[in-house]
Amino acid sequence: MSKEIKEKLQESSRILDILMEYIPEGISIALAIAFGDIQDIVIYKVSRYGAQLIGYSRKILENIHFKDIIKKLNICHADGITPATLEEMPLYRTIKKGEVVQDEEWVIHKSTGEKITLLIDTNPIRDLSDTIIGGISVWRDITKQKQIQKEIKDIAKFPDENPHPLLRIAQDGTLLYASPSCTPLLQDWDSKIGQPAPDFLYQIVVDAFQAKSIKENIEVNYRDKVFSFTIVPVIGTTYVNLYGVDVTRQKDAEKELERYREHLEELVETRTAELKILNKQLQQEIIERRRVEDVLRTSENRYRFLLDSIIIRIFYKDKNSVYIACNENYARDLHIKPEEIIGKTDYDFYPKELAEKYRTDDREVIETGQRKDTEERYIIDGQELIVHTVKVPIKNEKGESIGILGSFLDITEKVNLEKEAEMSRHLALIGELAAGVAHEINNPITGIINCAQILFNKSSEGSREKDLARRIIKEGDRIASIVSKLLSFARPGEERKRMTSITGIVSDTLMLMEKQLKKDSITIKLDISKDVPEIFVNSHEIQQVFMNIINNAWYALNQKYPGKHENKILEILGEKISIDKQSYVKITFYDHGTGVPTHIKDKIMNPFFTTKPHGEGTGLGLSISHDIIHEHSGKLTIDSVEGEFTKVIVILPAGEKIVFTV
């Protein structure tokens, strides 16, 4: 609303306040405004005299519901006994039905308990569209007038001491009696007892006899006073009685009220013209506001589309960690609609411990006013997720933190790619190291084997020298084989492969390790299905993989059960499976040994990483095994719970070479 409009409205209010302050005595005005339901009528303004008349302050009477006014004043009908209802009151009928009520008598009880009689007029207040929005009520105190009328009715004689004018006139117009208070009137009329009454009184007397009814409110002016006469024909006689009441003050008040009413109408016309101008200005402001709202709505839609389109989860909280908004992706993760998050807290969506952690982070951001970045790991549906969360404070113009804007992103794939890249770099370095070591070892070991062969050839059968030479050749070949594997690890390439039975490879592997397994009381349970197809592999390399896996199981079982035990068992299972309509062979090595600690699960495939004591393991077994299986288009996975079990699964394509998607 413009400053000019506000000033004009304030000026109108001041004029109305002045008017209500200086309404003359004998007249009271009350403005009532209707809000929505017609039953809800509120007294807006009460004149100063009106408040004094009924014995309450304006502060108490203004802004009070009309139905409460009826109760407070104990309003009754003119008989002073029958209680008034809301629907009977003139002001209610005016606002409800548009009635214009004039000269209705109602009895009220003042704050002192005194009863007074009011004569009430009401008129509706309409707006520019001719809709009734309130009403104006004018009341006059006629208590004394009612008392005078009652006294007149009770008069059986014409006592000389009566202060009010009392006359008796015969049917032919002769003035029969006049009280002492009538003397000035008779002088003014130039009339005496026994003489004819003035013509205007004679005509009234004639009318009263003809109508045989009481004539009321016959006004007679005398100098600066006004008298109101009631003419009563006396049954069975030929004269009438005239009872007079001085209504000068009442008439003056009515004239004054009329002047104020005319002035009020002028004010209403003036304010109506001003309001028309203001209405046009408001219409322009509404049009401009709607235009701005349309622009804001378009901007908000673009903003919402942007938030809902990005993969980052975004949320907004107040300083008490209560959600205010979020984007579509965040709501989808919580299985709700974005608008349903309003007013919720983290306790509504997360476990108590996690919710408390989030709220602790929120308090830190609010109190420090600094951004907070965290990376956290979660296990969801058996899979580990890594989430990067950013929380920044939202500040007002004073620099005070009033909320938190947060976002989080699933960076599991990114972290895994970084790990794979890091592992690739490690493997490259290890490969270079292995190649260098292999070349350095190959030459001297070849010389050792050749010398041992010469010694072997020259030694006699059964001699100690021939036995030592045989052992040197055997260990030298073993060293040469290890060097060959190092070279293979450094420069992996396609080996010669052929169709081979998986049962045969497992049997050959167990034959080599049988003696050691029996020695440590480890029971082997072998269950390979008869329908397992052959596989296209390098049997020597697959045997090496199986040997590494069995060796790790042997070590884990010995660590958990140093001696004999009924659970010291290694199960080897073989079965045919189908993946994407392709046939595969699945070999499972299952033991109940020490298991793999959670914090090193992502490291056990790394070269040279081992949990075995120094000197008992190189850390190359699983790394090389993983590479061998990968080169055979297969997959090697490990499922383990620390202290309970380890399950190593090898999956290889059946028949000819098939690329396995991992």
The amino acid occupying position 214 is I
Q: Strand runs (DSSP E) across 519-653, as ranges?
A: 523-528, 535-537, 569-579, 582-591, 635-641, 645-653
Read off the pLDDT of residues 354-386 as tens digits, 9 standing for 90 and up: 899 999 999 999 999 898 888 877 666 556 678
Secondary structure (H, E, C), 597-631: CHHHCCCCCCCCCCCCCCCCCCCCHHHHHHHHHHH
Alpha carbons 432 and 592: distance in angstroms, whole number: 37
* Residue 116 burial (CB count, 10 A): 19
Name the average pLDDT for the chain.
79
Which residues are within 8 A (CB) of 258 and not within 5 positions of it... i.e. 6 or more apart?
Answer: none
| pLDDT more than 90, % of the chain | 11
What's the average model confidence in pLDDT over 240-266?
Answer: 81
Does residue 37 surpass a pLDDT of 60?
Answer: no
Tokens of 647: 């399950």
The mean-pLDDT minimum among 28-32, 227-231, 521-525 falls in 28-32
Predicted confidence band of residue 482 (pLDDT cuts 50, 70, 90):
low
Which residues on neighbouring strands pair with residue 584, listed in sequence order? 577, 653
| Range among 179-188, 406-415, 585-594 with highest mean pLDDT value | 585-594
Q: Which residue has the tokens 């709505």?
A: 297
Confidence of residue 303 (pLDDT cuts 50, 70, 90): low
**Among the listed ranges 53-62, 548-557, 653-662, which one has the minimum average pLDDT value?**
653-662
Q: Is the dihedral of CA 165, 171, 172, 177 positive or negative?
A: negative
Q: What does each C-alpha distance from 88 to 44, 125, 143, 563 come to in angstroms? A: 20, 19, 21, 106
CA dist 427 and 490 (Å) reads: 8
Cβ neighbours for 50, distance < 8 A, ≥ 6 positions apart: 23, 28, 29, 30, 61, 139
pLDDT at 69 over 90: no
pLDDT band at 494 (very low <50, low <70, confident <90, very high): very low
pLDDT at residue 649, rounded to an integer = 92
Q: What is the pLDDT of residue 322?
A: 94
User: What are the backbone angles phi and psi of residue 497, rounded to the nearest 5°?
Assistant: -125, 160
Lowest mean pLDDT among 216-230, 319-333, 457-471, 525-539: 216-230
Query: What whole-number distance in Å separates Cα of residue 94 and Cα of residue 597?
Result: 88
Residue 592 has pLDDT above 70, yes or no: yes
Q: What is the pLDDT of residue 364?
A: 92
pLDDT band at 603 (very low <50, low <70, confident <90, very high): low
> Could you tell me the sign of the dihedral formed by the alpha carbons of 29, 30, 34, 40, in that order?
negative
pLDDT at 587: 93
Return the higher-pLDDT residue of 295 and 462. Answer: 462
Q: Please report, for residues 566, 576, 653, the alpha-carbon distance to residue 549 in angstroms, rounded to integers and kept in the order given.
A: 21, 20, 19
Q: Residue 606 has what pLDDT?
A: 53
**CA 169, CA 598: separation in Å to the nearest integer?**
126
pLDDT, position 653: 92
Q: How far apart, in whole angstroms, are the C-alpha atoms of residue 569 and residue 592?
A: 7
The residues, any chain, with a CB within 8 Å of residue 613's CB and separated by 6 or more, are: none
pLDDT digits over 96-134, tens only? 888 999 989 999 998 888 999 988 898 888 878 888 888
Q: Tens of pLDDT along 611-644?
A: 554 444 433 457 778 888 888 889 988 888 888 8
Distance CA 597, CA 393 (A): 39
pLDDT of 583 strictly over 80? yes
Distance CA 412, CA 388 (A): 9
Per-residue pLDDT, 591: 92
Instruction: Provide the CB-side half-sphere exposure for 273 (13 A, CA).
Output: 5
Instruction: Output phi, psi for 462, to 5 deg.
Output: 85, -5
Cα separation of 323 and 336, whole Å?
Answer: 13
Whole-number CA gyration radius for the chain = 57
* pLDDT recorded at residue 607: 47
Residues 6+ away with beta carbon under 8 Å from 228: 217, 218, 219, 220, 244, 245, 247
In whole angstroms, give the CA distance from residue 394 to residue 2: 32
pLDDT value of residue 321 = 92
Q: Which residue shows structure tokens 């592997």?
A: 509
Report the percentage of the chain scoring pLDDT > 70.
78
Overall average pLDDT of the 250-264 stretch: 82
Q: Greater confidence, 503 or 235?
A: 503
Q: How far apart are CA 367 and CA 96, in angstroms?
A: 59
| b/e map 133-167, b = 16+ CB within 10 Å | ebbbbbbbbbeebbebbeebeeeeeeeeebebbbb
- Tell me what pLDDT residue 320 has: 92
pLDDT in tens, 217-247: 778 776 677 878 888 877 667 888 888 777 8
Looking at mean pLDDT, say which of 224-233, 324-333, 469-478 comes out highest: 324-333
Classify 566 as helix, strand or coil: coil
Residue 658's pLDDT band (cuts 50, 70, 90): very low
Domains along the sequence of the chain with CATH: 3-145 (3.30.450.20), 153-246 (3.30.450.20), 310-404 (3.30.450.20), 416-490 (1.10.287), 498-653 (3.30.565.10)
* pLDDT recorded at residue 147: 72
CA angle 249, 254, 256 (to 5 degrees): 95
Q: What is the pLDDT of residue 331?
A: 87
Task: Give the separation between CA 276 and CA 283, rounded to whole angstroms.
Answer: 10
For residues 604 and 184, which has the higher predicted lDDT (pLDDT)? 184
Q: Could you tell me which residues come within 8 angstroms of residue 427 by beta carbon, excluding any fewer than 6 positions away?
A: 607, 623
Three-class SS string for 228-251? EEEEEECCCCCEEEEEEEECHHHH
306 has a pLDDT exceeding 90? no
Helix then strand count (H, E) for the chain reads 16, 22
Q: Give the end-to-end CA distance of the chain in Å, rounded to a whole number.
A: 68
Amino acid letter, 137: S
Rounded-to-integer distance, Cα 241 and Cα 434, Å: 144
d(CA 404, CA 314): 11
Q: Which position has the higher pLDDT, 156 or 201?
A: 201
Q: What is the rounded CA–CA span in Å between residue 47 and residue 29?
A: 6
pLDDT at 572: 92
Q: Is the pLDDT of residue 408 over 60?
A: yes
Q: Which residues pair with 313 in a beta bridge?
A: 408
For residue 563, the model assigns a pLDDT of 86
Residue 366 tokens read as 């609010």
Over range 315-336, report the average pLDDT: 88
Model confidence at 343: pLDDT above 90? yes
- The pLDDT of residue 615 is 40
